[in-house]
Amino acid sequence: MTMVVYALQAASLLFGLTLIVAVIINYVKQGDVRGTWLESHFRWQIRTFWFGLLWSVIGVATFFFVIGYFILIADSIWLIYRIVKGWLYLSDGKQMY
Whether 24 is in a domain gets the answer: yes
Expressed as residue numbers, the domain containing 82 is 2-91
Please indicate, yes or no, if residue 14 is contained in any of the structural domains: yes
Is there a domain that residue 97 lies in? no
Domain membership flag for residue 49: yes
The structural domain count of the chain equals 1
Cα–Cα distance measured from residue 95 to residue 80, given in angstroms and rounded to the nearest whole number: 18
pLDDT digits (tens, 9 = 90+) for 15-45: 989 999 999 999 999 999 999 999 999 999 9
For the whole prediction, is pTM greater than 0.75? yes
Look at residue 25 and tell me if it is in a domain: yes
Residue 96 within a domain? no
Please report the DSSP string for the chain in residue order: -HHHHHHHHHHTTTSTTHHHHHHHHHHHHHHHHTTSTTHHHHHHHHHHHHHHHHHHHHHHHTGGGSHHHHHHHHHHHHHHHHHHHHHHHHHTT----
35 belongs to a structural domain: yes
